[in-house]
């Protein structure tokens, strides 16, 4: 009998550090009593545990993970560790007042470096490389968006951290067909996300934390978790389930689960890399409304995703492995258009994941001491560096330490809930369908001009 093919969650899960076979840690078996119980072993949960234990190894920190550490978005993303945060900056300023946007940006830049130094100190082999990020335009609509983005950054005093490149300077960094210009920031690193998540989980254990895998939390109550396998009593409960929050009882409308799909190419040879560029492994984003994001991986492929964002009725999340043939084709076609030498390149992997979007698009972290309840997430696709900041902030909040982190404008923020169905589904589909039409129209106009 032919053996069944086990399909992995992503390219990243297929290329973990040698010796990491994703064997699950034991589940919770019986009741437990801990100081801090964290639900979810993605970047938010892991950085929170790591930061708490780094500050005070005597705190009894336990993470409860439904699958395995790094199973969610943290293990499957584009590996963009960038000094930016999800959500409109004007809304951040409205909430935090003058100087708050700058403070958020500076903390995100620091987060990129903090990830780099933890990775180096712990010896996590996740290909971390700080070569910056390019936000590229290949048509006039995208160029307008890039300029608008840049003007906004200038308004908030970020001119030392972002640079507007003309077509020729942008082409020097990445030889993309039809490139018209780009925005560049050095505050960004490419990394292998699943290796980072898995390595962080080991680091949390080394520092004294406990991780139960295969342990679903069914319900969160005041200082109590109803888990599969037992009841957990905790002084503090941290909800770190981002897009999966909707699967926990009574939390269905807190965060919208938005799908995102990626592909990875076969390794690209050196001659072709000479032609493409990205010599410093700069991350690259296509500035469409439904944007696309890519990285040159440490093993010489392109991992490329985005260009669409499906949602599902009542926030239902598809089974893993997540596949979407239409998205795979769209990503392949766009890659060939951007890099004509790659038109025929093989695609070794296609996968999807879910990211979390709050109703007002603003991410938030917070701790309600009275309830013993903390939360973090809603990064809208910008969670790799931001989750590091969130984890460090949550650790300070839980320990009662006032710091620069605890006065950031996203602290204490809770978005209002999403609308009930069918309004949520209809609204989100209308917005993404509209965005798709504009992106395609801009692409078509650029194509016609190119042929003229």
Residues in the site for ligand FAD, rule: CB under 6 A?
39-45, 64-67, 71-74, 76-80, 216-217, 240-244, 247-248, 260, 262, 293, 305, 353-355, 377, 379, 381-384, 387
In the complex, minimum distance from the CB of residue 120 to ligand FAD, in angstroms, rounded to a whole number: 20
Nearer to ligand FAD, 180 or 388 (CB): 388
Nearer to ligand FAD, 193 or 372 (CB): 193
In the complex, minimum distance from the CB of residue 315 to ligand FAD, in angstroms, rounded to a whole number: 12
CA 295, 298, 304: angle at the middle one, nearest 5? Answer: 25
Residues 6+ apart with CB under 8 A from 244: 40, 66, 72, 257, 317, 354, 356
In the complex, minimum distance from the CB of residue 98 to ligand FAD, in angstroms, rounded to a whole number: 27
Nearer to ligand FAD, 62 or 406 (CB): 62
Nearer to ligand FAD, 141 or 305 (CB): 305
Nearer to ligand FAD, 72 or 277 (CB): 72
Residues 6+ apart with CB under 8 A from 374: 48, 236, 237, 238, 239, 365, 366, 367, 368, 394, 397, 398
Q: Taking the C-alpha atoms of 227, 231, 235 and 237 in order, what is their torsion angle to the nearest 10 degrees?
A: 10
Residues 6+ apart with CB under 8 A from 1: none
Nearer to ligand FAD, 143 or 196 (CB): 196
State the SS3 of 245-285. Answer: HHHCCCCCCCCEEEEEEEEEECCCCHHHHHHHECCCCCEEE
Query: Where on the phi/psi map is residue 86: left (φ > 0), alpha (ψ -120 to 50), or beta?
Result: beta
In the complex, minimum distance from the CB of residue 408 to ligand FAD, in angstroms, rounded to a whole number: 17
State the SS3 of 148-164. Answer: HHHHHHHHCCCCCCCEE
Omega before 422 within 30 of 0, i.e. cis: yes
Quickly count: other Cβ atoms within 10 Å of residue 300's Cβ: 15
Residue 41 tokens read as: 């072993």
Start-to-end C-alpha separation, the chain? 58
In the complex, minimum distance from the CB of residue 447 to ligand FAD, in angstroms, rounded to a whole number: 27
Nearer to ligand FAD, 379 or 446 (CB): 379
Nearer to ligand FAD, 295 or 424 (CB): 295
Residue 149: is it exposed, middle or buried by C-beta count within 10 angstroms (0-12/13-18/19+)?
middle
Q: What span, in angstroms and rounded, lies between the C-alpha atoms of 178 and 181?
A: 9
In the complex, minimum distance from the CB of residue 367 to ligand FAD, in angstroms, rounded to a whole number: 16
In the complex, minimum distance from the CB of residue 242 to ligand FAD, in angstroms, rounded to a whole number: 3
In the complex, minimum distance from the CB of residue 391 to ligand FAD, in angstroms, rounded to a whole number: 9
Find out whether 166 and 231 touch, Cβ atoms under 8 Å: no
Residue 327 tokens read as: 């998205």
Nearer to ligand FAD, 162 or 244 (CB): 244
In the complex, minimum distance from the CB of residue 96 to ligand FAD, in angstroms, rounded to a whole number: 21
Question: What does DSSP say about strands 61-64 and 210-212: parallel, antiparallel, or unpaired?
Answer: parallel
């Amino acid at each position: 009998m032919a053996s069944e093919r086990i399909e992995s969650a992503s390219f990243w899960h297929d290329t973990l550090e040698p010796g990491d076979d994703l064997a699950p840690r034991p589940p919770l078996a019986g009741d437990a009593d801990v100081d801090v119980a964290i639900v979810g072993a993605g970047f938010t949960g892991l950085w929170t545990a790591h930061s708490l234990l780094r500050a005070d190894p005597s705190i009894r920190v336990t993470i409860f993970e439904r699958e395995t550490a790094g199973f969610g978005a943290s293990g499957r993303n584009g590996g963009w560790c960038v000094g930016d945060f999800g959500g409109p900056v004007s809304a951040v300023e409205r909430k935090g007042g003058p100087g708050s946007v700058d403070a958020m940006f500076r903390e995100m830049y620091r987060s990129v470096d903090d990830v780099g130094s933890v990775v180096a100190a712990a010896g996590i082999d996740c290909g971390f490389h700080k070569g910056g990020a390019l936000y590229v335009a290949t048509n006039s609509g995208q160029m307008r968006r890039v300029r608008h983005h840049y003007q906004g950054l200038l308004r908030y005093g970020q001119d030392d951290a972002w640079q507007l490149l003309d077509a020729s300077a942008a082409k020097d960094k990445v030889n993309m067909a039809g490139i018209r210009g780009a925005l560049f920031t050095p505050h960004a690193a490419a990394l292998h996300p699943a290796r980072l998540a898995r390595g962080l989980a080991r680091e949390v254990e080394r520092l004294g934390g406990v991780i139960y895998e295969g342990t679903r939390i069914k319900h969160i109550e005041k200082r109590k978790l109803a888990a599969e396998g037992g009841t957990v009593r905790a002084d503090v409960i941290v909800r770190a389930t981002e897009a999966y929050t909707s699967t926990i009882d009574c939390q269905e409308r807190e965060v919208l689960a938005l799908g995102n799909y990626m592909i990875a190419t076969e390794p690209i040879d050196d001659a072709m890399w000479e032609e493409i560029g990205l010599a410093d492994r700069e991350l690259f984003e296509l500035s469409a409304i439904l944007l696309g994001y890519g990285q040159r991986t440490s093993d010489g492929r392109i991992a490329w995703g985005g260009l669409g964002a499906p949602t599902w009725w009542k926030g239902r999340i598809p089974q893993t492995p997540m596949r979407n043939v239409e998205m795979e084709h769209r990503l392949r076609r766009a890659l060939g258009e951007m890099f004509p030498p790659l038109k025929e390149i093989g695609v070794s992997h296609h996968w999807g994941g879910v990211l979390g979007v709050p109703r007002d698009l603003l991410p938030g972290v917070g701790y309600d001491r009275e309830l013993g309840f903390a939360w973090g997430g809603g990064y809208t696709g910008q969670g790799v560096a931001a989750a590091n900041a969130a984890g460090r902030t949550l650790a300070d909040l839980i320990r009662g330490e006032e710091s620069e982190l605890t006065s950031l404008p996203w602290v204490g923020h809770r978005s209002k809930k999403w609308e009930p169905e069918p309004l949520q589904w209809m609204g989100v589909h209308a917005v993404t369908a509209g965005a798709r039409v504009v992106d395609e129209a801009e692409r078509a106009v650029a194509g016609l001009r190119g042929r003229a």
